[in-house]
């Protein structure tokens, strides 16, 4: 599966920020900036050197236009701020980039959800997250996977305020 430059760049920035705080409270504290990350400059330099300066500028422009990042001047330096949409895209890209490993204990993850009819967009968003995470539909609102993706799923559900509609179970057999 081919990974886009957009997904890879967002995932690299997300990885830097994630390395700063392992309890992931940064997901809810904005702004997330490259200024606060010492290796942030090196990521930008790597991408700028790998792609010529014009292509790198186009990438940054595209990411800003799509709402994935914001570029601000902080203390006379440019800083890249990862938006909520950017974090979401990076998390979805992580399922493509990182090889999904099956759970070591052989158990499965089951998700059951009940989203009200008048929240159709939320239901579609949840289905998209589940499909990208390697889940398969077991019944109408019951999805299962053998992969160890529970932490990422919990983060995505909290980020989109879907956790109140969802129950996550670890099951031994189907």
Pairwise CA distance, residues 24 & 27, whole Å: 6
Q: How confident is the model at residue 21 (pLDDT cuts 50, 70, 90)?
A: very low
| Residue 22 in this model has a pLDDT that exceeds 60 | no
**What pLDDT score does 38 carry?**
39
Length of the chain: 174
Q: How confident is the model at residue 156 (pLDDT cuts 50, 70, 90)?
A: confident
**What pLDDT score does 91 carry?**
77
Pairwise CA distance, residues 106 & 95, whole Å: 20
Beta strands at 69-74 and 77-82: parallel, antiparallel or unpaired: antiparallel
The dihedral over CA atoms of 39, 44, 50, 53, expressed in degrees to the nearest 10, equals -160
Q: Give residue-wise pLDDT tens across range 82-136.
A: 888 888 888 777 777 677 778 889 899 999 999 888 888 888 888 888 888 888 9
List domains and CATH numbers for the chain: 5-97 (1.10.10), 108-171 (3.30.70.240)
CA nearest neighbour of 126 among 167, 93, 96: 167
- Count the Cβ atoms, other than its own, within 10 Å of residue 17: 20
| Residue 173 in this model has a pLDDT that exceeds 50 | yes
Q: Give residue-wise pLDDT tens across range 43-93.
A: 666 666 666 777 878 888 888 999 988 888 777 777 778 888 888 888 777
**What pLDDT score does 129 carry?**
82
pTM across the whole model: 0.60
Most confident of 5-9, 85-89, 142-146: 142-146
Two structure tokens written together for 116 = 């009200």
CA nearest neighbour of 149 among 108, 90, 106, 93: 108
**What pLDDT score does 154 carry?**
87
Q: How confident is the model at residue 39 (pLDDT cuts 50, 70, 90)?
A: very low
**What pLDDT score does 30 carry?**
45
Q: HSE of 51 in the Cβ direction (CA atoms, 13 Å)?
A: 15
CB 58 within 8 A of CB 51: no
Pairwise CA distance, residues 81 & 27, whole Å: 12
């Amino acid at each position: 599966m081919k990974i886009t430059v957009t997904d890879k760049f967002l995932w690299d920035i997300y990885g830097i920020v994630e390395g700063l705080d392992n309890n992931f409270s940064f997901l809810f504290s904005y702004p997330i900036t490259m200024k606060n990350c010492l290796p942030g400059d090196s990521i930008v330099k790597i991408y700028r050197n790998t792609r010529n300066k014009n292509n790198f500028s186009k990438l940054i422009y595209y990411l800003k236009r799509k709402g994935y990042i914001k570029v601000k001047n902080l203390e006379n330096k440019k800083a890249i701020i990862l938006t909520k949409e950017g974090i979401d895209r990076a998390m979805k890209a992580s399922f493509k980039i990182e090889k999904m490993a099956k759970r070591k204990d052989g158990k499965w993850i089951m998700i059951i959800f009940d989203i009200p009819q008048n929240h159709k967009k939320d239901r579609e968003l949840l289905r998209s997250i589940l499909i990208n995470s390697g889940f398969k539909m077991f019944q109408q609102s019951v999805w299962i996977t053998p992969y160890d993706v529970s932490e990422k799923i919990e983060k995505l559900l909290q980020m989109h305020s879907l956790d109140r509609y969802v129950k996550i179970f670890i099951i031994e057999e189907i």
